[in-house]
Amino acid sequence: MIERLLPGLAWMRRYDKVSFQGDALAAVIVTIMLIPQSLAYALLAGLPPEVGLYASMAPLAAYALFGSSSTLAVGPVAVVSLMTAAAVGDLTAVGTPEYRGAALALALISGVFLIAMGLLRLGFLASLLSHPVISGFITASGILIAASQLKHILGVEASGHNLIELVRSLADRIDSVNGATLAIGAGATLFLFWVRRFLKPLLMRAGLGPRLADSIAKAGPVAAVVVTIVLVDLLSLGDAGVRVVGEIPQGLPPVALPPFDPALWRELLPSAVLISVVGFVESVSVAQTLAAKRRERIDANRELVGLGTANVAAGMTGGYPVTGGFARSVVNFDAGARTPMAGVMTAVGIGLAALLLTPLFQQLPKATLAATIVVAVLSLIDLPALKRTWYYAKGDFAAMAATIVMVLAAGVEAGIITGVTLSIVLFLARSSRPHMAVVGQVPGSHHFRNVKRHSVVTSPAILSLRVDESLYFANARWLEDKLYDMAVADKAINHVVLVCSAVNDIDASALESLKTLVERLDAAGVRFHLSEVKGPVMDKLKRSHFLEELSGKIFLSHYDALAALDPETTGKASAHPETPNAPAQATPPCG
């Protein structure tokens, strides 16, 4: 019982020396990677840099107790940082105490919402965000984040909540670019790109092992931070207009509740819900990918609780909304992390940095942090996915393209709402006109296939229809009219048999339509039957009066139905020798 409430107790009981060694090494590597990332993502969110460090401490320990992944690394991420800036920036000015308080409240609200979803076992709701929508959202967010960091690389003042505003603002100030800042920002960006692509192969050719080479390559941002700090200090580039991080308070995060302002919390709630859902989808996708490599299992509802407690911890310790990050989780996994203790050790490492190392970052150029963000988010951009989705499914392409356009033109919240809405509309549109096939018997077998795709035998007195969708309110009336029109179009038809092998549910609206269809067909002298009804669907039908009102019968298999209703045609089809090279074998087996 206790382990159900605190899943972390399970791995604590079996913790050993081997696990400690793997976790300790992973923690060192992730800490080195996370320090510059945390500082950079806090600035992206419009918050002081130390807030990024605060958001990388308590949340990791909280997730270790309640999460279900052994290697997921929780903390600030680019997309959630951008969404935080968009949500809070609409309510209060950047740099004010109110802005920071709103970010704390946003984390707490997100945490409470995630925990509530987990306790109610609503993890399945994340599936409402289709992959094309998520892919489009992340791609557009990557473009928007990269564009938002150009002001730091160019050393100019610029602002905007969407790409159009950002580009216009940058264009208006292009003549005031600071040369020294541009040199640092562009140099750091090129260096980080080179490290990401070429350093690991170079180190491996020099004789280093793949894991060590990869770990050194992942420390590229640290090298960029150290070099640019030294350059700014030695060359006094601050006097030349290079903007630096400035003083970062030393010490551990403050423990306090966010300001309680009911009006503010109501305004933040929609954004908190979006951030929670997007963060959960990103996090659980990463966790499941890594778990599959070790044949571990991820519990979506525990993940909701784990991420929720992490966000509550962030809101109570000076942070802002967090989630599982892809890059740092992969590094954590590859570095040998065995249990969530690696996250706890990482939190300790970040805490030591906050206590002892923050004075070293005082001369860190903001352009270097911007370069770190740009290189990190450009790997998220997947524009070729548009082409792949276009060829595969035009509807999904429309949802993906609309999400990208809306994120870039109107902002992150408008984009994700548009994508989700379009996905739901397209689903309803597709399922309201489901695929329906007239089926016939494959000669020499008990199988039935689409008459348009296969050489089959049909009975002139029986209309056999297979509907490939559950029956519910959106398609009930259409199916009723379609079946009736097809049945009365041929005067030779005496029976309609609906094949329900693909029907997983029949809701109340569809049940009423079936009752009406039975009456309409009965008036036309046609009996209505069902075949291959699934157990759960049959259980529901038995709880209604439909079976008493049915003019025909319910058959276990479609072959049984045809054998009972037209034994002569069925017998001939069954006895027909199956031809190895029949056209049916040359067509797709489905449908």
Greatest mean pLDDT range, 274-283, 356-365, 525-534:
525-534
CB atoms within 10 A of CB 183: 16
For 148-198, write each residue's pLDDT tens digit. 999 999 998 888 778 898 899 999 988 889 999 999 999 999 999 998 888
d(C-alpha 469, C-alpha 436), whole Å: 9
* pLDDT top residue among 395 and 466: 466
For 108-120, letters b (16+ CB in 10 Å) and e give bbbbbbbbebbee
Return the pLDDT at 162: 84
DSSP string, 474-514: TTHHHHHHHHHHHHHT-TT--EEEEE-TT---B-HHHHHHH
For 221-242, write each residue's pLDDT tens digit. 888 999 999 999 998 888 888 9
HEC letters along 553-582: CEECCHHHHHHHHCHHHHHHHHHCCCCCCC
DSSP alpha helix (H) spans, 47-173: 49-54, 58-66, 78-89, 97-119, 131-148, 150-154, 163-172
Is the CB of residue 321 less than 8 Å from the CB of residue 54?
Answer: no
User: Residue type at 83?
Assistant: M
Residues linked to residue 74 through DSSP beta bridges, in sequence order: 324
Return the pLDDT at 468: 92
Mean of pLDDT values over 519-545: 93
Among 77, 102, 108, 125, smallest CA distance to 277 is for 125
Return the pLDDT at 581: 37
For 297-337, write each residue's pLDDT tens digit. 888 888 999 999 999 999 999 999 999 988 788 878 877 78
For 81-120, write each residue's pLDDT tens digit. 989 998 998 889 888 999 999 999 999 999 999 999 999 9
Return the pLDDT at 587: 34
Residue with tokens 């993940």: 303
Among 2, 6, 1, smallest CA distance to 67 is for 6
> 38: left (phi > 0), else alpha (psi -120 to 50), else beta?
alpha
Q: How confident is the model at residue 208 (pLDDT cuts 50, 70, 90)?
A: confident
For 27-58, write each residue's pLDDT tens digit. 888 888 888 889 999 999 999 999 999 999 99
Q: How confident is the model at residue 8 (pLDDT cuts 50, 70, 90)?
A: low
Return the pLDDT at 580: 39
Residue with tokens 């938002």: 148
CA angle 283, 288, 289 (to 5 degrees): 100
Q: What count of Cα atoms within 13 Å lies in the side-chain half-sphere of residue 258?
A: 30
d(C-alpha 31, C-alpha 75), whole Å: 11
What is the chain's length? 591
d(C-alpha 337, C-alpha 159), whole Å: 40
Q: Read off the pTM.
A: 0.79
Q: Is residue 2 over pLDDT 70? A: no
Structure tokens at 545: 């009066």
Cα dist from 495 to 330, 462, 463, 486, 517, whole Å: 59, 5, 6, 11, 13
Q: How confident is the model at residue 23 (pLDDT cuts 50, 70, 90)?
A: confident
Is the CB of residue 518 less than 8 Å from the CB of residue 530?
Answer: no
Distance from CA of residue 511 to its chain's centroid?
35
d(C-alpha 302, C-alpha 313), whole Å: 16
Q: How confident is the model at residue 576 (pLDDT cuts 50, 70, 90)?
A: low
Structure tokens at 409: 């033109």
One CATH from 3.90.1150.10, 1.10.287.1770, 3.40.50.300, 3.30.750.24 for 436-586: 3.30.750.24
> In the chain, what's the furthest Cα-to-Cα distance?
98
Sheet holding 495-499, edge to edge: 448-450, 436-441, 462-467, 495-499, 527-531, 554-555
Domain residue limits, the chain = 17-124+131-245+255-359+370-424, 436-586
Mean of pLDDT values over 487-511: 93
Q: Is residue 583 over pLDDT 60? A: no
